[in-house]
């Protein structure tokens, strides 16, 4: 429409532009990767409902979908899975970095630095083309589990874990961070971890993804953008929620303690972790999916304690506050049953979300415009400059 045919902006519009704290509700870009759907689907990755993907796909299929834009055929999936196995080994420079770590270092700090270091030795380090970024994305997806496991073993003085040479991504990751698991229980644990990886893989313009896109919009390298995302995820207002939920469940201890614990918590106006979501105001469809996994795993393990604490807390929070659990809540139950170290909860998030981050970096740079918003100035009015000798 011609400018003269539109309503002309007034001076007042320029003086007082619309402002949304935290950019809440602001549309900051376009993306074909993920749709946050308040309807029955809850979430869609490139058009596919999250329930269908979590119930019928492997994490490798979903990773391929996010990175390459379509679900893989059999040959494509076999080749992709082979690449993930082939690229597991850490480069020598990164391995030396891991071997020099000390106890007490934050796993997310180690992961952030390790990913940046991987960028130095990547064979496509200086190539920012789409194909090169896809190759770098696949290598990162393969290397990050080994980086997490190896660094944790060094910092805790544990024996190196053995990768599962026959299993898929979830089986390998579980073996690396919690030890090998066999039989029906081992298969159920790998299945639950596979589902959680799918559910965590992508979630539109969350803080870490937006940080990656802002960084990528400068046309910097993919590893640099992912390093920014990891640094953002470390913040307790974004990452670490399932770790905090696990700590909360351990603090409560038994199902019969839940009501007293919650009353005291609410009386002191303290936050109950794992409830509510900045965008999903009507509930998180992913929560019901992982809840089913947590309940089944509890039954198979013969340990319903954590699940019963969570289910009781879930019911009481709905009654008292009208709040429903988010994805992190029942994921914590599943991770406790798998004996995944709590301090690795957020790094495991990276094992999954790396697929969404990389997809967004590639999408941003394919249709790039430098992300440069404006600020609403709230400082002093214009002042006259006084020479130094006149200032008291």
The answer on pLDDT for 39 being more than 70 is no
Please give the positions annotated as active site: 277, 328
Tell me what the pLDDT averaged over the chain comes to. 91
| DSSP code string of 220-281 | --HHHHHHHHHHHHTSTTTS-HHHHHHHHHHHH-SGGGHHHHHHHHHHTTPPPTTB--SS-T
In sequence order, which residues have a C-beta less than 8 Å from that of residue 119 and are 6 or more positions away? 125, 221, 222, 223, 224, 227
At the fourth CATH level, the homologous superfamily of domain 32-235+343-366 is Citrate Synthase, domain 1 (1.10.580.10)
Domain residue ranges in the chain: 32-235+343-366, 242-337
pLDDT digits (tens, 9 = 90+) for 229-268: 999 999 888 888 888 999 999 999 999 999 999 999 999 9
In sequence order, which residues have a C-beta less than 8 Å from that of residue 269 and are 6 or more positions away? none
Please choose, from the candidates 145, 194, 201, the residue with its C-alpha nearest in 3D space to the C-alpha of residue 173. 145
pLDDT digits (tens, 9 = 90+) for 192-221: 999 999 999 999 999 999 999 999 999 999
Task: For residue 253, give both structure tokens.
Answer: 């201890």
pLDDT digits (tens, 9 = 90+) for 313-326: 999 999 999 999 99
Output the pLDDT for position 2: 41
Question: Between these two residues, 21 and 79, which has the higher pLDDT value?
Answer: 79
The answer on pLDDT for 6 being more than 60 is no
Output the pLDDT for position 253: 97
Please choose, from the candidates 179, 148, 147, 145, the residue with its C-alpha nearest in 3D space to the C-alpha of residue 162. 179
Q: Which option is the CATH number for 242-337: 3.40.50.1220, 1.10.230.10, 3.30.1490.190, 3.40.50.1820?
A: 1.10.230.10
Residue pair 368/213 in contact by the 8 Å Cβ criterion? no
Start-to-end Cα distance in the chain: 57
pLDDT digits (tens, 9 = 90+) for 139-197: 999 999 999 999 999 999 988 776 666 789 999 999 999 998 889 999 999 999 999 99
In sequence order, which residues have a C-beta less than 8 Å from that of residue 125 and are 6 or more positions away? 119, 221, 223
Mean of pLDDT values over 349-354: 97
Is 32-235+343-366's fold the same as 242-337's? no
CA 169 distance to own-chain centroid: 17
């Amino acid at each position: 429409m011609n400018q003269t045919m539109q309503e002309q902006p007034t001076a007042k519009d320029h003086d007082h532009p619309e402002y949304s704290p935290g950019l809440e509700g602001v549309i900051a870009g376009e993306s074909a990767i993920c749709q946050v759907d308040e309807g029955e689907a809850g979430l869609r990755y490139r058009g596919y409902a999250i329930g269908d993907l979590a119930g019928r796909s492997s994490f490798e299929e979903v990773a391929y979908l996010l990175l390459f834009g379509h679900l893989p055929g059999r040959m494509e999936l076999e080749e992709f899975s082979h690449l993930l196995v082939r690229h597991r080994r850490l480069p020598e420079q990164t391995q030396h970095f891991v071997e020099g770590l000390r106890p007490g270092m934050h796993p997310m700090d180690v992961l952030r630095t390790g990913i940046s270091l991987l960028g130095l030795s990547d064979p496509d380090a200086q190539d920012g083309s789409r194909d090169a970024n896809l190759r770098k994305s696949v290598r990162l997806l393969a290397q990050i589990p080994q980086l997490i496991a190896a660094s944790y073993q060094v910092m805790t003085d544990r024996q190196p874990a053995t990768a599962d040479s026959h299993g898929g991504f979830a089986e390998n990751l579980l073996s690396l961070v919690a030890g090998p698991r066999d039989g029906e229980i081992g298969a159920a644990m790998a299945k639950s971890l596979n589902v959680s990886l799918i559910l965590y893989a992508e979630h539109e313009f969350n803080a870490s993804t937006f940080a990656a896109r802002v960084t990528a919009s400068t046309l910097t390298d993919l590893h640099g953008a992912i390093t920014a995302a990891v640094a953002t995820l470390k913040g307790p207002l974004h990452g670490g929620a399932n770790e905090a939920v696990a700590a909360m469940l351990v603090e409560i201890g038994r199902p019969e303690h839940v009501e007293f614990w919650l009353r005291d918590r609410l009386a002191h106006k303290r936050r109950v972790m794992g409830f509510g979501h900045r965008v999903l105001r009507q509930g998180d469809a992913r929560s019901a999916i992982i809840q089913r996994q947590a309940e089944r795993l509890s039954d198979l393990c013969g340990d319903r304690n954590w699940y019963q604490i969570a289910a009781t807390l879930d019911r009481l929070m709905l009654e008292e506050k009208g709040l429903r659990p988010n994805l992190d809540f029942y994921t914590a139950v599943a991770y406790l049953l798998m004996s995944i170290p709590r301090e690795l909860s957020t790094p495991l998030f990276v094992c999954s979300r790396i697929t969404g981050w990389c997809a967004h970096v590639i999408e941003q740079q394919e249709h790039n415009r430098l992300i440069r918003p404006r600020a609403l100035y709230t400082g002093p009015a214009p002042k006259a400059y006084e020479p130094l000798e006149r200032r008291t």
